[in-house]
């Protein structure tokens, strides 16, 4: 079935290093992708998004890359800090229409930053 999934369930990085979190998706019709950060006991928090007509988008310390050919996106976090420790989810919105406008999550990656 259609799904959004992740390659790595856990990731440990040294403080100050860069982190890369990967995500694969199967629905070629998806046209909008979002990365969320979720800290323990809280709701998911928006980090960055990218539309399907883009290959790359940068924010503050974060970059999202989209490869539509292989249906893959990644989240890069520069100079990872202890406050970045959380679970990261990629998600997709499958397009405007009453039944399609919904945000579907991938399985998540737990990022642990080692001081």
In the complex, the residues that contact other proteins under the rule CB under 8 A are 31-32, 34, 36, 41-46, 49, 51, 89, 91, 93-108
Rounded to the nearest angstrom, the gap between the alpha carbon of residue 11 and the centroid of all alpha carbons in its chain is 13
Q: Which is nearer to other proteins, 40 or 69 (CB)?
A: 40
As a whole number of angstroms, the distance between CA 81 and CA 99 comes to: 39
Q: Which is nearer to other proteins, 3 or 18 (CB)?
A: 3
Buried b (16+ CB within 10 A) or exposed e, 42-75: eebeebbbbeeeeeeeeeeebbbbbeeeeeebbb
Q: Which is nearer to other proteins, 79 or 103 (CB)?
A: 103
CB of 50 to other proteins, least distance (A): 10
Contact yes or no for 88/109 (Cβ under 8 A): yes
Q: Which is nearer to other proteins, 98 or 115 (CB)?
A: 98
CB of 107 to other proteins, least distance (A): 5
CB of 68 to other proteins, least distance (A): 15
């Amino acid at each position: 079935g259609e799904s959004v999934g992740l390659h790595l369930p856990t990731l440990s990085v040294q403080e100050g290093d860069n982190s890369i979190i990967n995500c694969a998706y199967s629905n070629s019709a998806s046209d909008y992708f979002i990365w969320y950060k979720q800290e323990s006991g809280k709701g998911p928090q928006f980090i960055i998004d990218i539309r399907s007509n883009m290959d790359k988008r940068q924010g503050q310390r974060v970059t999202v890359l989209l490869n539509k050919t292989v249906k893959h996106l990644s989240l890069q976090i520069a100079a990872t800090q202890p406050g970045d420790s959380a679970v990261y989810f990629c998600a997709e919105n499958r397009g405007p229409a009453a039944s399609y406008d919904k945000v579907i999550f991938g399985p998540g990656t737990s990022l642990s930053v080692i001081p």
